[in-house]
Structures are given as structure tokens and as C-alpha cells.
Amino acid sequence: MILTVTLNTALDITYRVPSLRAGASHRVSEVLERPGGKGVNVARVLAALGHEVTVTGFSGGPTGRVLRDRLTEVPRVTDALVPVSGATRRTVTLVGDRTGATTHLNEPGPHIAHAEWSAFQEVYEDLLASASAVALCGSLPPGVPVGAYAGLCRTARAARVPVLLDTSGAALRRGVAGRPDFLKPNTEELAELTGSHEPLRATQDARRRGAGTVIASLGAEGLLAVTPEGRWRATPPAPLTGNPTGAGDAAVAGLLSALVEHRPWPERLIRATALSAATVLSPTAGDFDRAAYDRFLTTVTVTGVATAA
């Protein structure tokens, strides 16, 4: 079982409009609603790849009940969310069909009481006992300590469960001190963490700060991985036009699935890059185009070198 942690779960609502224009009134052509938050998105992709996944984090209020109801519709995903008194947030994405332009509105999430945070940590420790890997994903809701991810990383490492961290801002700066096995930032997050806008230098600096391996999302240019085993760069075959929502989460799912299957690093990066690219091409934000994914598996290129033994 792969465990994904989403402390700030959300009900994702997508509105599609013919053309998205600031300050204008829009007629909505389609409304999509489904459980979300970064770790939930990762779980959905992992399940589509055939893996058993458990989702934990927080859920509360009417929005939380809808989220949990929708989770029951996803095969191979087990709900282990911890109930809270506050209401789960909503995220709204506006998508313009003609240009693919997107606008995101993200609510802050419920306030988590000290007792609720303590209850989650107990559930988390119990779930680690049967986990083959864990992903800690997304923002922290109000009330959760800013150093929460560092503690969760240490707990996973003590349980000998490989842990991947995918967050940003203060949660990232504090979380890397927990020495996650894998860190998956984008270039902006890397620059904020290290002060460097040069990807290779920034990834190396992030490793010095505590991460075992750093896999940097370079947007349309693919992925860069700096690991104890070597350094590799994965590149999609051509620039893509589409909706990038969820592309980073799909990459995390690709990395985790290949990790638990004991694939070598070049194969992990090919899978992660192919999934990310196929997500950009999907008509539904956060899903991936299966045919495109199969095609990208044979066209993504990887360059790099393994560290000499």
C-alpha cells in the first residue's frame, strides 16, 4: 500500500467557459466536481496505474462529506481521513476552452485544533506500519504547526518507510530539515528555498539542506533528478499546450509507483515525465490521457550519468 497525506484536502470544482476574460461575465459550459488536494490527486493517478492507495489527512463539514462520498467512487483508494470540526475547503478552477487559460481560487482550509492534530499523528503512525512509501503533499491548514512536515518525515524514516515531500513556502523550508528521502519542488519553490535560479545548483543546495534526492519539475522542460546514485534529466518530446493543473501531482505518482516497483532512476523519470505530460493534454484537469501516456513512455528522453561505485 502507498500512503498519501493531504493535510489540506479540498473539493475541486472546475468551471469550463468558452473564453476566459478578466472582469467579464461568463456562461459556464461544464461543471466538474471531485475530491482534491495534492495528495488526493496523487492517489487518484496511483490507483489508475493499478496500485492500492490509502489517503489520509483531514476532512470536515458538508464539503468534507461530499469529498469522502466521492472518494468511495475511486477504485483501489482507501479513505483514512481524520474528521475535524471545521469545513473542508473548496478550490475553484476556471478554464477557458479556446486558449486553455486557467485561473485558480484556493480557500485556506479549516482551522485544525491541537487535539485533531494529535489524533492525525496517531492515525499516521498506524498507517505507516503497512505502507511501502508515503507522500506528504500540499499546503498546511491553519492550526497545523509550520514544522509539521519535518516531524512527519522523521516518523516515516523511523518506521523505515521511504518518504517524499512536495510542498512550498515555509512548510518546505522547515520540512526539508526532516531529511525526506525525496523532495519534489518546482523551479520557483527551489529558488525560494535556496536563493538560486539555476536548477542544478539549486537541487544540489537542497540536498545539502537535508533532502536525500531532489527531483525538480522544470515545467515544459521536464524533470531534473539529483540523487545519491547519479544525476539525470528527462525531457518530453515537444512543447505541450493544455491545462497544467495536476501535472506535478501526476509526476509524484509516477515517481512513487516506479519506486515501489524497484525501477531504476531513468525509468522512474520517464514514467513521471510521461504522466505529467499526459495530464497537461487531458481534457479534465488533474486526469491523464492514457493514450498520450503510452505514447510518451516511448518518446521521453533521459540523459545523465550514474555515480561510480
Residues with a catalytic annotation lie at: 249
SS3 of the chain: helix, strand, coil, percent, to 5? 40, 25, 35
Taking the C-alpha atoms of residue 162 and residue 142, their distance in angstroms, rounded to an integer, is: 27
- DSSP code of 179? -
Phi, psi dihedrals of residue 195, rounded to the nearest 5°: 85, 0
Give counts: helices (H), strands (E), the chain.
Answer: 10, 15
Cell output for 92: 475553484
Residue pair 230/304 in contact (Cβ under 8 Å)? The answer is yes
Residue pair 64/107 in contact (Cβ under 8 Å)? The answer is no
